[in-house]
Structure 1
């Protein structure tokens, strides 16, 4: 028995004995001729072809509401139709319209300044700061507000950490570091790193504005890339009354700060910026009322954008269980045409996320090739506006085209990492629900090892469309590649290089050294895991006492 398969079987047994689940389902067989044929139907060349089409320059980066996005969506729809799947959109169609509001900061009419006892410093846009567009107002003002530095801006008393214990932020602007304490478990750390979680906490405590910044050694700090991205604005989906799903009247300004602006705000404080960062990184909660004050003026312009999700289904074979759905989701959108990098301004998004969309298409093909559909129905989703806050998937879970109670499990395919063979996987979410048993069985069948999160600082658990389902209490998995390469290459170094040099830039195109065989294996392990769940008598359940089950299971 090879070492990877041995480690996977050990992991499988550990999950079965420690998950806290009470599933009475007998293991689903994965050895049938039909399953083997379905696995064989997934071909690397097909994934390469889909990716080439979806990331072609002619699609101009697939931004929501553009002809390029429409072309990508129509391509996915045509593929689903060609397979013989059924439409699962609104009124028997393949689509679900997602009305969006696009909000963009008018930089020349916006400002950020820091008051000190010896004078006021006017900060420079892009160099020192950039502002978040306000989705609910055209003009928002904060004038000479007090500032409280609240560490990471995290309140997690049940996990032994609370930056707000001694903080009075009512009527003030809070300033915090990106991320969350490193001692927190990986996925809990991701939850508390979320900007939405931090903003919600600040609102609940009366804050009127937020400012966030990165520690100098934060691997997610790419100031020029982040500032360039901010120029594309922000999106929110609109409810039937035209109200955006995000934004709050109480928050009158939100800024991202470069080191220069953070240093300006810490002038005269009784603790230095360096020491404050060091304390946060050491896991010490803190709140500091700064000696400076801040003024923020944000002018925003709004426009409405029409985009849409593509939805297809394979109806289940069991008369009762066919009303329950195992769902697969990938986003087709990317950043369109933006800031020019060395002569190229098209953000092709080959890896992010033409790869995931292509894999969902091949998973659908594998399911459709089965001699008989699984007991449960399977839903395939190509969604919009993930890059702008998981909006297409969030709109779907708030406005499902199938029964909300019938959504039993979700898989997200998003930039699974296709730069070396798939030797091991990191199934984000496996430790939270009975889906962990299913992915362990699938990985064992394929001889693929299962490992822990190698990059918890990237907070991946909250960064793709599966998280929209989790927030509605639906167990989900986000399966990514681990760092084992099977040769002398260091998978961690390859991952870091991609994230630093190509991620969210025009360099993410088809010229990269993709391993399309790894893409096929990603499709296979996701297909097998979903097949097990679709065949089991009992729907997936949250593990007893699980953090996310406790937060969202009643949603």
Structure 2
């Protein structure tokens, strides 16, 4: 529609133009430094990061307008790159969810022992988890301490041995025994598996107690500062939440400082239990007294979307199979202010990962030798809510079921120091290893082992959704070997302590876009090699994840990964 021009509007526009051009007008301020010496691929990655991590997008929380803008941007970048739409609605795949928020009014945590009642303080000492099944949940029952809530008879460990959990509220610590190998410890430490075990044994509630070690890594005060932020779960066709263990009426969390109020009873002390937990000598026991828990939740339907582009394979047979690149587009949105800033921009987590995936897509789309298998590029939503977008896509792929052969994930590459290496997390699990190693040699980048295997990051990002569907996966993160004497490990550690999931993770950080471009080249070469190898990637013989998930794909229904922090 053409608008009629008003003389007054034209006069105002001319006045503004003259004011801008007058000698007294201040020169424009360049807010973003420009590196004229940067390579074209580094500049493209930087441009993507600066848009996706801009305040305009308000932290890209799943289900918000900011995330919708980000997904529109990525869809158009896919289009410009030459990727075909591969969603259900053009480039988009809708992800149905439920959104739940805690309501403080009516929440209760009261311990009764020997005729005396002790009420814990909301937020300061405890928080209830949201409940996706009912807005008003209550339970009153005796308690039982179940250690870490781990049932692993094949490893000679059972925290439930000799304990009656039915009809009781289970009290437990996070984690899994340190003597377990990394993979099994990661699996058994996940909240999902713990809640599954408790539900199967007839528990009616659960209380997770933080230890001093937990809070050394993630302070209670920082974690609860955003207690009003919504949680999400995938939504079934009938409107109910998936994978939420409704038999557990209330699930709550208690701080390490408040642990003695709950655990100092019957000859036991919280601090001694903390020590036993660290030493691997923890044993469960009936916990004296009863507990009254109440939690209120506001529940509403929500929706977000994955963005899916496809590069068609060149081989008539192999083109029916798909290598999947993934990177989560969402971050955590607007939260508690830190130094006056309430926008959690998520530059490294994971605007940079998405930008690297976009650059890898460009390189593959322009390859002189088109990949033989087809390649999907998926910017997934709601990773920060529990891997929900990836879980939905893995269970409801927009291509033929069973055609996904490998996943290459990119999440939070911490590239703040010049490095010579990259870390391919999970490389040892499958036949992807020699392909990744060959790609690294070709690009000229060293491969380093996971520097923090105890953090179990192989099950804490979107690749785990594909793993659960039986798809071999690898997760690439930035390196730790600094160039020119730089202590990259220390710089990376400072980011995790000071900026991870905080407003300081923004585009003002000294991001090494040259290293990001190198990581994009590595991803592209890996994708080419996986797409071109005649054999379909497979799990290694005897691999834990291959044995647990690889023999048959999980049922074709979405399921939430509860092991990831929300």
User: Pick from 529, 552, 555: which aligns with 1:532?
Assistant: 529
CA contact (8 A) 2:273 2:282 kept: no
Aligned residue runs from structure 1 range 431-446, under 5 A: 431-446=428-443
User: Pick from 326, 345, 350: which aligns with 1:348?
Assistant: 345
Residue in 2 aligned with 1:427?
A: 424
1:156 equivalent to 2:152? Answer yes
Residue in 2 aligned with 1:455?
A: 452
Partner Cα separation in structure 1 for residue 238 and residue 72 of structure 2: 28
Aligned residue runs from structure 1 range 72-151, under 5 A: 72-90=70-88, 93-117=90-114, 119-143=116-140, 145-151=141-147
Partner Cα separation in structure 2 for residue 177 and residue 221 of structure 1: 15
State the superposition RMSD in angstroms.
1.7
Partner Cα separation in structure 2 for residue 489 and residue 149 of structure 1: 47
| Structure 1 position 146, deviation (Å) | 2.0
CA contact (8 A) 2:380 2:390 kept: yes
| Structure 1 position 227, deviation (Å) | 1.0
Partner Cα separation in structure 1 for residue 269 and residue 487 of structure 2: 37
Distance verdict in 2 for CA 1:138–1:116, change over 3 Å: same
410-419 or 170-179: which moved more? 170-179
CA contact (8 A) 2:418 2:488 kept: no
Aligned residue runs from structure 1 range 225-374, under 5 A: 225-374=222-371
Partner Cα separation in structure 2 for residue 217 and residue 242 of structure 1: 39
Partner Cα separation in structure 2 for residue 324 and residue 423 of structure 1: 33
327-336 or 515-524: which moved more? 515-524
CA contact (8 A) 1:141 1:297 kept: yes
368-377 or 313-322: which moved more? 368-377
CA contact (8 A) 2:415 2:479 kept: no
User: Pick from 177, 183, 187: which aligns with 2:183?
Assistant: 187
Distance verdict in 2 for CA 1:364–1:158, change over 3 Å: same
201-210 or 266-275: which moved more? 266-275
| Structure 1 position 41, deviation (Å) | 8.8
376-385 or 482-491: which moved more? 482-491
User: Pick from 193, 198, 203: which aligns with 1:197?
Assistant: 193
Residue in 2 aligned with 1:216?
A: 212
289-298 or 322-331: which moved more? 289-298
Partner Cα separation in structure 1 for residue 531 and residue 239 of structure 2: 37
Alpha-carbon displacement from aligned partner over 1:74-102 (angstroms, at most 9, x marks no partner):
000010101111010015x1100111110
Residue in 2 aligned with 1:394?
A: 391
| Structure 1 position 376, deviation (Å) | 0.2
Alpha-carbon displacement from aligned partner over 1:341-360 (angstroms, at most 9, x marks no partner):
12111111111111111111
Partner Cα separation in structure 2 for residue 337 and residue 389 of structure 1: 18
TM-score (norm 2): 0.88
Alpha-carbon displacement from aligned partner over 1:487-540 (angstroms, at most 9, x marks no partner):
434333223221221111111111212111221122122222221110001110
User: Pick from 52, 57, 75: which aligns with 1:59?
Assistant: 57
Partner Cα separation in structure 1 for residue 78 and residue 124 of structure 2: 46
1:68 equivalent to 2:66? Answer yes
| Structure 1 position 285, deviation (Å) | 4.6
395-404 or 187-196: which moved more? 187-196
Structure 2 alignment gaps of length 5 or more: 1-37, 554-566
Partner Cα separation in structure 2 for residue 531 and residue 41 of structure 1: 22
Alpha-carbon displacement from aligned partner over 1:445-473 (angstroms, at most 9, x marks no partner):
23333333221332211111110000011
Alpha-carbon displacement from aligned partner over 1:401-458 (angstroms, at most 9, x marks no partner):
1112100000111102111234233322211111112112222223333333221332
1:175 equivalent to 2:174? Answer no
Partner Cα separation in structure 1 for residue 521 and residue 207 of structure 2: 43
Residue in 2 aligned with 1:43?
A: 41
Distance verdict in 2 for CA 1:75–1:120, change over 3 Å: same
| Structure 1 position 303, deviation (Å) | 1.2
Distance verdict in 2 for CA 1:76–1:483, change over 3 Å: same
CA contact (8 A) 2:344 2:502 kept: yes
Partner Cα separation in structure 2 for residue 187 and residue 521 of structure 1: 29
Residue in 1 aligned with 2:27?
A: none
Partner Cα separation in structure 1 for residue 417 and residue 155 of structure 2: 37
| Structure 1 position 118, deviation (Å) | 5.1
CA contact (8 A) 2:408 2:474 kept: yes
SS in 1 for 2:257: helix
Partner Cα separation in structure 1 for residue 314 and residue 182 of structure 2: 38
| Structure 1 position 42, deviation (Å) | 7.3
Partner Cα separation in structure 1 for residue 180 and residue 484 of structure 2: 32
Distance verdict in 2 for CA 1:489–1:115, change over 3 Å: farther
SS in 1 for 2:212: coil
CA contact (8 A) 1:222 1:500 kept: no
SS in 2 for 1:337: strand
SS in 1 for 2:217: coil
Alpha-carbon displacement from aligned partner over 1:153-186 (angstroms, at most 9, x marks no partner):
2222223332222332111122222222222222
Partner Cα separation in structure 2 for residue 495 and residue 179 of structure 1: 24
> Higher RCO, 1 or 2 (CA under 8 Å, sep at least 6)?
1
417-426 or 203-212: which moved more? 417-426
CA contact (8 A) 1:162 1:285 kept: no
| Structure 1 position 255, deviation (Å) | 1.0
